[in-house]
Chain A
Amino acid sequence: MRVNFTVNGRPQEADDVWEGESLLYVLRERLGLPGSKNACEQGECGSCTVRLDGVPVCSCLVAAGQAEGREVVTVEGLADYARQRSEGGCADGACGSAGSGVGLDAARRWEARPSDGQTGEQGELAPIQQAFIDAGAVQCGFCTPGLLVAADELLERNAQPTDADIREALSGNLCRCTGYEKILDAVRLAAARQGEAV
């Protein structure tokens, strides 16, 4: 079957989708967006977390056909999504302003470019991504995309989360490397920077 939906603010079409296929599979294998990770395929690890109409979900448990006509944001579109949010624009692309969103080619080429401490050059990172790098919250990086999407949503909803709020919001994301402390640091850091910016 064919599935039409919006990914990172741009309309996309996936063809030859098997009816039992997950949204995660479509994103990775049909649209070439491997940012969302596939680890458990049973909702346990959160590494496949994306926003579906704004709501964080495990994309491995959404049937592709259920995404028809809906808005998906993946980690590849997170920087753009966060930028539009901070500009007070329409982050999910629903307002359809021309030129917004991230096209598939750009998304496939996307790589983390942190701002350069020496030149001060701004990279194309969401604040939460920069905070993960600065706090040393990334080791192997496999859990990182899911955590970024979940943490970004927390900070959108709750500008000053308590430690309990952070733990709760990230309780569906497993990390095998960091022991979580640096991840908590990163979210606190992003929240503090967000507070300064306002």
Chain B
Amino acid sequence: MDFLRPASWEEALAAKAEHPTAVPIAGGTDVMVEINFDHRRPEYLLDLNRVGELSQWETGEETVRLGASVPYTAIMEQLRGELPGLALASHTVASPQIRNRGGVGGNLGTASPAGDAHPALLAAGAEVEVESVRGSRLIPIDDFYTGVKRNALAPDELIRAVHIKKADGPQQYSKVGTRNAMVIAVCAFGVALHPETRTVRTGIGSAAPTPIRAEAAEEFLNAALDEGGFWDSGKIITPSIAKQFAELASAACNPIDDVRGTAKYRRHAVGIMARRTLGWTWEQYRGAGRPLEGAA
């Protein structure tokens, strides 16, 4: 095995071009588990820790450009206002020690259907900035997950950053697990209200081969809120609308039975979380006179 230690982003891209099989390592919270247990013996490890800009973020007019290695701890402590859904999701990841090392770039690299960043990114709206020596491109988050633990990266590409839409309304994240810490999601649900465009977006984790949006549920809800004038009146969403939204979210799932839960349970729980998180965000929307607490 060789340990490659690029000191800059350009060097990292050059190393990845020269050794496309090199395995990038950022926080190492996925990679090192595989190496410790002999599940993976890469020829090259490509350490990204010395590439400082990967741990930084920039807040723009419309988006936050979040460096691939920004640890979850920083997201939950410092980006709550701009990225409330992702901050909540980050807080549910593992433990402080893991959150101090792991980040969204690694979560996207692994692309596990259970990764907690994914539902929040899908709901907020995001693009993944990837780059190789051939150039840079932005991959819409909806096109990023291509299969179970597969993503749209080419072998010579690295994730530079994620461009995430700044919240223009309340966002929530909910996750089912056996305890409050150190739990891989049995299933998870993220929702984001976008009052500016009068749309609602969602993300479902651990209930299909890849992270997905509940598109039919979104379409139904967007139409129902529009027709009923809910965005203007701010009145309570009627139980029948919430129920239909929850049923459509359940129906979007394509889960499996595994050690953490059955397919039937996952479908059921996603429906419950969809109804609850919609209720929470809508209450925030009604209460806060639109944009929620701390929206910067």
Residues of A within 8 A of B (CB): 1, 18-20, 22, 41-44, 46, 49, 55-58, 60-63, 65-66, 68, 150, 168-169, 171-173
Contact = CB atoms under 8 A, between A and B. Distances in A.
A55 B71 CA distance: 11
A168 B28 contact: no
Interface residues of B, number: 29
Among the interface residues A44, A60, A172, A173, which one has the most CB atoms of the partner chain B within 10 A? A172
B5 A57 contact: no
Given A171-B96, A171-B181, A63 B3 contact: yes
A60 B181 CA distance: 19
Contacts of A19: 1-3, 45
Interface in B19-39: 25, 27-29, 31-33, 35-37
B272 interface: no
Interface in B94-152: 94-98, 100-101
A168 B96 contact: yes
B97 A56 contact: yes
Contacts of A171: 95-96, 180-182
A172 B28 contact: no
B260 interface: no
B47 A46 contact: no
B35 A42 contact: no
B182 A66 contact: no
Chain A to chain B: the 7 pairs with minimum beta-carbon distance, closest first:
A172-B95, A171-B181, A19-B1, A19-B3, A61-B32, A65-B3, A41-B36
Contacts of B100: 55-57
Contacts, number: 89
Contacts of A46: 95, 97
Given A1-B3, A65-B47, A68-B5, 5 more contacts: A61-B32, A61-B98, A63-B28, A171-B181, A172-B181
A66 B33 contact: no
A43 to B, nearest CB: 6
B49 interface: yes
Interface string B176-207: 00001110000000000000000000000000
Nearest to A153: B96
A41 B36 CA distance: 7
A63 B45 contact: yes
B235 interface: no
B90 to A, nearest CB: 13
A61 B180 contact: no
Contacts of B264: none
Contacts of B2: 19
Contacts of B95: 43, 46, 171-173
Interface string B69-101: 000000000000000000000000011111011
Nearest to B29: A61
A61 B2 CA distance: 18
12 contacts: A1-B3, A20-B35, A41-B37, A43-B33, A43-B94, A58-B97, A61-B98, A63-B25, A63-B45, A66-B25, A150-B96, A150-B97
Contacts of B97: 43, 46, 49, 56-58, 150, 172
Given A43-B94, A63-B47, A172-B94, A18 B101 contact: no
B243 interface: no
B36 A66 contact: no
B36 A42 contact: yes
Contacts of A63: 3, 25, 28, 31-32, 35, 45, 47
Contacts of B41: 20
Interface string B159-182: 000000000000000000000111
